Amino acid sequence: MSKLKLAILSLGFTAIISLAWAFDDGDFQVWHTENQEKKINDKLKVTTEEEFRFGDDASDFYYQHYDLGFVFAANKNFDFGVNYRQVLAKENGHFREENRPHINATLKWDSWGISFDDRNRLEYRHFYWKEDSWRYRNKFTMKFPWKFTKLEFQPYLADEVFFGLNGEGLDRNRFYSGLGFSFTQDIKAEIYYLLQSSKSSGIWTDANVLGTKLKLVF
């Protein structure tokens, strides 16, 4: 386990170095997400989420979304969720709306002290200004068992792939390296580095993202 710990810390250091020098290779962005979660009973909870993104070296507010969903915990290893998301993304100086209902099936398990999370998402993307489409997303997360300081900083890695189901195929990948921590039992947070690679017209481009998350549990 000590060798694994050293490898993860080295990877995190590499991510920080990448964030420092990669701005010339791709846009630097800042993303902030806020989550709220209310438990209805032992099996069901309601969730809301808001996210705001700044691009062009974090100078341009270009994206926001608002999400409402219900999550059913079948057991400790499987969750199923139904959500609706409204997306407002800037194009040609104006925000355009996307309505995005999605369903999520998440497998969870522990091995070697590491917590694994495999989320599968199917999205229907409804636009007023272009053809609607379907997309599949898979996000695989590893949370490591080490916790540091009174805030219990806990490292994690994640990777998410995006598949357009209307002929686009694999057109986006997100790699995360971050730390989760807790202010209190009901207030949790994350800070992370994200490398996003996106394909448009057959060309891949990268964005380097400094992200933060705040989660409130009621």
pLDDT the model gives residue 141: 98
Model confidence over 118-167: pLDDT tens digits?
A: 999 999 999 999 999 999 999 999 999 999 999 999 999 999 999 999 99
Mean pLDDT of 76-100: 96
- Tell me what pLDDT residue 10 has: 43
pLDDT of the residue at 92: 86
What pLDDT is stored for residue 93 in this prediction? 86
**pLDDT bracket for residue 25 (50, 70, 90):** low
The pLDDT score that the predictor gives to residue 26 is 87
Of 194, 88, 96, the closest CA to residue 139 belongs to 194
pLDDT at 169: 96
pLDDT the model gives residue 79: 98
Average pLDDT over residues 103-114: 97
pTM of the shown model: 0.87
- Determine the pLDDT at residue 16: 40
pLDDT value of residue 39 = 96
| CA-CA-CA-CA dihedral for 133, 46, 161, 32, to nearest 10 | 100
Query: Region 89-94: what's the mean pLDDT?
Result: 90
**What structural domains does the chain harbor?**
2-217 (2.40.160)
Is pLDDT at 2 greater than 70 in this prediction? no
Q: Can you give the three-state secondary structure of the chain, one letter per residue?
A: CHHHHHHHHHHHHHHHHHHHHHHHCCEEEEEEEEEEEEECCCCEEEEEEEEEEEECCCCEEEEEEEEEEEEEEEECCEEEEEEEEEEEEEECCEEEEEEEEEEEEEEEEEECCEEEEEEEEEEEEEECCCCCEEEEEEEEEEECCCCECCCCEEEEEEEEEEEECCCCEEEEEEEEEEEEEECCCCEEEEEEEEEEEEEECCEEEEEEEEEEEEEEEC
Largest CA distance in the chain: 53
How do residues 163-181 score in pLDDT, each as one tens digit?
999 999 999 999 999 999 9
**Position 201 confidence tier, pLDDT thresholds 50, 70, 90:** confident
Instruction: Flag whether pLDDT at 67 surpasses 90.
Output: yes
Mean pLDDT of 83-99: 95
Quick check: 204 pLDDT over 70? yes
User: Which pLDDT score is estimated for 54?
Assistant: 97
